[in-house]
Structure 1
Amino acid sequence: MKSEIPLDIATPRTHTTQLPASPKGAAVCRRIARHQLTSWRLDATATEPFHAALLIIAEFAANACTHGRLPGRRFELSLTLTTTPKGGTVLRIEVSDCRGDRLPVIPTTCTANSQTGRGLTLVDALADRWGTIPRLPNAKTVWAELDLPAHAPHAA
């Protein structure tokens, strides 16, 4: 059994980066997120939320590059690790793109032969909360939050 590391986050830990809205940008986003979550030692004892976070990030990045893309524009990944007033820990994932007119929607039907539409269904199942926030002038942020186990790790 891995040792538990007490959480001591006086201020939120945040990582934000901008990436090209392309398949390569989405791949780099996934690598950056894995590295950041590992540096916060989220993979050490909270393996289920670690893998859930990586799946959510992959889906949001793919959607930003597929549905939120405008030529020459970038998308933004933001990861925040905070403590709640009750002593819990929350990982917040945000991906922002420049297509505020295209909001994510969970499909009402998804068949075994569907080639698309499963991603947000997975996000809905994995995240404790998720949604969208408008960004001015015509952009959006898609966010998800994961409640972490009581003794989730953090960077020293």
Structure 2
Amino acid sequence: MTTEIPLDRPRPHTTTLPATPKGAATCRRLARRQLTIWGLNSTHTEPFYSALLVVAELAANAITHGRVPGRGFELHLSLTTTARRGTTLRIEISDPRGDRLPVLPTVHLPNAQSGRGLTLIDALADRWGTIPRSPNSKTVWAELDLTAPAAPDAA
């Protein structure tokens, strides 16, 4: 079943936040609000909750591993529709630590209290990766496909 995104061409949403636990909490609230405005909570409930978890993990990583005193991190959300992928939600979190790139762990210690965020992102997102930013910053992005590509016309 394919559901249409309720807004014709929703504008991307970008916010800069402090690299603190309060900033990460605000990031989660802003993402929830924006995704709700776009109607994803009623039309795409599974991707809605997956997206909120991805935002939470990326924000936590930004304040834990990407923090530079006095500098914040940035949340960017966008919806795009292409013939190849259908409708895609893109989540980006940028932080000022371009020297600390995320690495998907290969081993998980059973009693570890951290270290599973990227594994969750890898499981929930259809694609994810990093983009270097200047100067010495990075963006970690994740994409969730919301609708399938349009079927080619049978002629």
TM-score (structure 2 length as normaliser): 0.89
SS at match of 1:13: coil
Picking from 91, 102, 109, the partner of 1:111 is: 109
Q: Match of 1:127?
A: 125
**Matching of residues 70-109 of structure 1 within 5 Å:** 70-86=68-84, 88-109=86-107
SS at match of 2:12: strand
SS at match of 1:145: strand
* Alignment partners' CA distance in 1, 2:38 and 2:6: 12
**TM superposition shift of 1:10:** 5.4
Aligned length: 147
Which residues of structure 2 form unaligned runs of 5+? 149-155
Q: Match of 2:152?
A: none
* Alignment partners' CA distance in 2, 1:131 and 1:34: 22
> For the Cα contact (< 8 Å) 1:9–1:83, is it kept in 2?
no
Deviations 1:20-59 (A, max 9, x none): 0000000000000000000000000211000000000000
Q: Percent identity?
A: 69
Picking from 34, 50, 53, the partner of 1:52 is: 50
Q: CA RMSD in A?
A: 1.7
Which residues of structure 1 form unaligned runs of 5+? 151-156
SS at match of 2:17: strand
TM-score (structure 1 length as normaliser): 0.88
